[in-house]
Homo-oligomer: A and B are copies of this chain.
């Protein structure tokens, strides 16, 4: 069987099974998720045993310690996966919400309601928890799931899917709504990306290379989750006592994630006073500084090590304790820098001046603008969504952290009493 035939078959099976989801009540979907959570806890020994096989294969294959850590399941992590499923089950039902309604002059009633996409494909990398996290978010939002994880996690993913399907078999929802896509070869990914009419949406989660590949090759609509080159701009009207902790938090608290800051922009009016303070604090926190020419002079005068930042530095999502610092002379100049180097993820302004904040927002063109707070808050859990399937880095459909709601589309229900168009 060709990879495309395989994927089409899996998608057809998932779609047919999906009818049990689109006709299920919210209470039935909620109960199904709780059954899944219970099953994951009850069968944690099996899950850990399968994961041990992946870990052993990963060590033999020479995976680095960071990848091995992502792959690893522990009793606590399995507990956490079950807890996540239970948490999603307790969120408000995202389906059947009336988003807009009106009555037309001819008496026809219009109602726009939220409905599932249908069949959603997830393409992701090593972490096996994504298998359950994604499946429960998709199920709760009424969608059948085609899950394509990494071959390095194949044993873990297989047992997790089996446990979820076995659990669903005891409910009104067909176990076939979750389909694990074989991960041995890349052809299944390509087939998934080209299953137009069979798969409604594909969401890639992983490296920039993976996401670029998905965008290039997909004929199925996709939502990119992507890189964050986030900026913190300290305005001339900043409260500098707020600015410093926000800079440190944005850069240092968890540098490996997409909402960490990569570049600090200082307004020229506060740079002479504030740059030495900020650079010293960053240096003491272990952050390597890449400075523009003006900042470099300040750093040298203050005796703080720094290198001259290149264009490449300003484009880089470090993921580590490194930061770029540049001096700008206005909100517009900060915005122009961000437009040139940013990735439209999260941009922060620290300012007490409402007009400057307003202009920064109007020019920001990103998923989230932080006003006097840390870039680290662009996060589904922090923002109270309860669950997050990823952070959309594109403008189409959903932008920023995506929870249950982002996994729904809409339909118009147009109710008449025999009206025809004249």
Q: Which A residues form the contact surface with B (CB < 8 A)?
A: 15, 19, 22-23, 102, 104, 108, 110, 115, 117-118, 196, 200-201, 215-216, 219, 221-223, 239, 241-242, 245-246, 248-249, 253, 339, 359, 361-374, 376-378, 382-384, 394-397, 399-400, 409-421
Contact = CB atoms under 8 A, between A and B. Distances in A.
Contacts of A200: 395
A226 B377 CA distance: 39
A414 B223 contact: no
B411 A364 contact: yes
B399 A396 contact: no
Given A239-B418, A368-B412, A378-B412, 13 more contacts: A15-B339, A22-B362, A215-B219, A241-B418, A253-B420, A367-B411, A367-B412, A368-B411, A371-B413, A373-B417, A377-B414, A377-B419, A383-B414
Contacts of A410: 399-400
Contact of A104 (B366, B383, B415): B383
A374 B23 contact: no
A157 to B, nearest CB: 26
Please give me the 4 A-B residue pairs with the lowest Cβ-Cβ distance, nearest first: A373-B416, A242-B418, A249-B420, A376-B421
A373 B108 contact: yes
Contacts of A412: 367-369, 378, 383, 399-400
A175 B383 CA distance: 39
Nearest to A361: B413
Given A246-B420, A376-B421, A421-B382, A414 B118 contact: no
Nearest to A397: B397
